[in-house]
Structure 1
Amino acid sequence: MTRIRHNDYGTLRPPAVGSWSPALRVSVVIPAYDCAEALERTVPALARQTYPSELVEVVVADDGSRPPLKVAGARVVRVSEGWGRGAARQTGQLAATGDVIHWLDSDMILADDHLEAHMRWHHLIDYAVVIGDTRFVDEPGEEGVQSEYTRKTLESSRRLKDAGSSAYLLHTGASTSVRAELLRAAGGVDASLNMAEDTELGYRLAQAGAVFIPDEQARAWHVGPSTVMLREKEVHRHNWSFLGDLIPDLRWLRRHPRRHWLVPYVRVAVTATTYEETRTTVDSALAGTLTDAAVTLVGPWGKLTGERRSSLDDPLLELRLLRNLYAHEPRVEFAESVPASAAPSPFLLTVPAGWALGADTLAGLIRHADRDLLGLVCVALAEGADGVVSARLERTAAFARAALFTGGTDDLVDEMFGSEWVSGSEHGFAPAPEAEPLTGEPAKWRALAGERLTEVKELRAQVERLTAEVGRLASPAPAADEERRGALSSLIRHMRRAG
Structure 2
Amino acid sequence: MTARVRHNDYGPVRPPALGGWEPSRTVTVVVPAYGDQEALDRTLAGLAAQTYPPRLLDVIVADDGSDPPLRLAPSAPARSRVVRVTSGWGRGAARQTGALAATGEVIHWLDADMILSREHIEAHMRWHHLIDYAVVIGDIRFVTSETFEPDEGTVQEYTAKVLESTDMLRDAGTSAYLVHTGATTSVSAALLRAAGGVNAGLNMAEDTELGYRLAQAGAVFIPDREARSWHVGESTVMRREKEVHRHNWSFLGDLVPELRWLRSHPRRQWLVPYVRVVVEATGYEDTRATVDSALAGTVPDVAVTVVGPWGKLTAERHSSLDDPLLDLRLIANLYAHEPRVTLAESAPPSAAPSPFLLTVPSGWTLGAETLAKLVRLADQDVTGLVCAALTETATGVVSARLERTAAYARARHFDGEPDDVVDELFGALWVGGGELGFTDVPEPLAGDPAKWRAVAAKRQEEIKVLEAEVAELRARLDEQPPPEPPRRNPLARLWGDR
Q: TM-score, normalised by structure 2?
A: 0.92
Measure the CA separation in 1 of the matches of 2:52 and 2:360. 51
Query: Cα–Cα, structure 1 residues 37 and 331, in superposed 2: closer, same or farther, change >3 Å?
Result: same
Deviation at 1:442, TM superposition (A): 2.8
In structure 2, the residue corresponding to 1:379 is in which secondary structure? strand
In structure 1, the residue corresponding to 2:231 is in which secondary structure? strand
- Structure 1 partner of 2:491: none
Q: Is the 8 A contact 1:277 1:432 kept in 2?
A: no
Query: Cα–Cα, structure 1 residues 116 and 354, in superposed 2: closer, same or farther, change >3 Å?
Result: same
The alignment status of 1:170 with 2:179, answered yes or no, reads: yes
Query: Cα–Cα, structure 1 residues 276 and 222, in superposed 2: closer, same or farther, change >3 Å?
Result: same
Aligned-partner residue type, residue 116 of structure 2 = L
- Structure 2 partner of 1:442: 449
In structure 1, the residue corresponding to 2:371 is in which secondary structure? helix
Q: Is the 8 A contact 1:301 1:319 kept in 2?
A: yes
Match of 1:247 among 256, 260, 280: 256
Q: Is the 8 A contact 2:108 2:186 kept in 1?
A: yes
- Structure 2 partner of 1:78: 84
Match of 1:452 among 449, 454, 459: 459
Query: Cα–Cα, structure 1 residues 88 and 449, in superposed 2: closer, same or farther, change >3 Å?
Result: same
- Structure 2 partner of 1:107: 113
- Structure 1 partner of 2:490: none
What is the 5 A alignment of 1:474-485?
none
Q: Is the 8 A contact 2:304 2:340 kept in 1?
A: yes
Measure the CA separation in 2 of the matches of 1:240 and 1:30. 26
Query: Cα–Cα, structure 1 residues 459 and 102, in superposed 2: closer, same or farther, change >3 Å?
Result: closer
In structure 2, the residue corresponding to 1:368 is in which secondary structure? helix
- Structure 1 partner of 2:96: 90
| Cα deviation 1:60-110 (Å, max 9, x = unaligned) | 000111111111332000001000000000000000100000000000011
Could you list the runs of 5+ residues in structure 2 that have no partner in the other structure?
485-498
Measure the CA separation in 1 of the matches of 2:298 and 2:258. 16
Match of 1:228 among 222, 225, 237: 237
Deviation at 1:454, TM superposition (A): 2.4
The alignment status of 1:184 with 2:190, answered yes or no, reads: no
In structure 1, the residue corresponding to 2:240 is in which secondary structure? helix
Q: Is the 8 A contact 1:7 1:211 kept in 2?
A: yes
In structure 2, the residue corresponding to 1:394 is in which secondary structure? strand
The alignment status of 1:39 with 2:23, answered yes or no, reads: no
**Mean CA deviation greater in 134-143 or 283-292:** 134-143
| Cα deviation 1:133-152 (Å, max 9, x = unaligned) | 11011212322111111111
- Structure 2 partner of 1:21: 22
Aligned-partner residue type, residue 228 of structure 1 = V
Measure the CA separation in 2 of the matches of 1:64 and 1:39. 15
Aligned-partner residue type, residue 57 of structure 1 = D
The alignment status of 1:134 with 2:140, answered yes or no, reads: yes
- Structure 1 partner of 2:299: 290
Measure the CA separation in 2 of the matches of 1:51 and 1:227. 30
In structure 2, the residue corresponding to 1:313 is in which secondary structure? coil
Number of aligned residue pairs: give it. 475
What is the 5 A alignment of 1:301-380?
301-380=310-389
Measure the CA separation in 1 of the matches of 2:230 and 2:476. 69
Query: Would you identify which runs of 4 or more consecutive aligned residues in structure 1 move more than 3 Å?
Result: 455-470, 477-481
- Structure 2 partner of 1:397: 406
Q: Determine which structure has the larger helix proportion and give its number.
A: 1
Measure the CA separation in 2 of the matches of 1:253 and 1:76. 38
Match of 2:279 among 252, 270, 280: 270
Deviation at 1:39, TM superposition (A): 0.6
Q: Is the 8 A contact 1:28 1:56 kept in 2?
A: yes
Q: Is the 8 A contact 2:361 2:400 kept in 1?
A: yes
In structure 2, the residue corresponding to 1:355 is in which secondary structure? coil
RMSD over equivalenced CA pairs, Å? 1.8
Measure the CA separation in 2 of the matches of 1:479 and 1:98. 80
Deviation at 1:465, TM superposition (A): 6.3
Measure the CA separation in 2 of the matches of 1:84 and 1:478. 77
Query: Cα–Cα, structure 1 residues 274 and 225, in superposed 2: closer, same or farther, change >3 Å?
Result: same
| Cα deviation 1:23-47 (Å, max 9, x = unaligned) | 0011000001112111110001111
Q: Is the 8 A contact 2:195 2:217 kept in 1?
A: yes
Aligned-partner residue type, residue 62 of structure 2 = A
Measure the CA separation in 2 of the matches of 1:375 and 1:175. 30
| Cα deviation 1:298-336 (Å, max 9, x = unaligned) | 111111111110011111111110111011111111111
Q: Is the 8 A contact 1:182 1:205 kept in 2?
A: yes
Query: Cα–Cα, structure 1 residues 159 and 469, in superposed 2: closer, same or farther, change >3 Å?
Result: closer
Q: Is the 8 A contact 1:378 1:421 kept in 2?
A: yes
- Structure 1 partner of 2:432: 423
In structure 1, the residue corresponding to 2:408 is in which secondary structure? helix
Could you list the runs of 5+ residues in structure 1 that have no partner in the other structure?
482-499
In structure 2, the residue corresponding to 1:431 is in which secondary structure? coil
Deviation at 1:48, TM superposition (A): 0.5
Measure the CA separation in 1 of the matches of 2:481 and 2:232. 80
In structure 2, the residue corresponding to 1:393 is in which secondary structure? strand
Aligned-partner residue type, residue 237 of structure 1 = R
Deviation at 1:480, TM superposition (A): 5.3
Measure the CA separation in 2 of the matches of 1:137 and 1:219. 13
Measure the CA separation in 2 of the matches of 1:240 and 1:395. 25
Query: Cα–Cα, structure 1 residues 136 and 279, in superposed 2: closer, same or farther, change >3 Å?
Result: same
The alignment status of 1:49 with 2:50, answered yes or no, reads: yes
Measure the CA separation in 1 of the matches of 2:404 and 2:204. 28
- Structure 2 partner of 1:261: 270
Q: Is the 8 A contact 2:297 2:445 kept in 1?
A: no
- Structure 2 partner of 1:491: none
Deviation at 1:453, TM superposition (A): 3.1
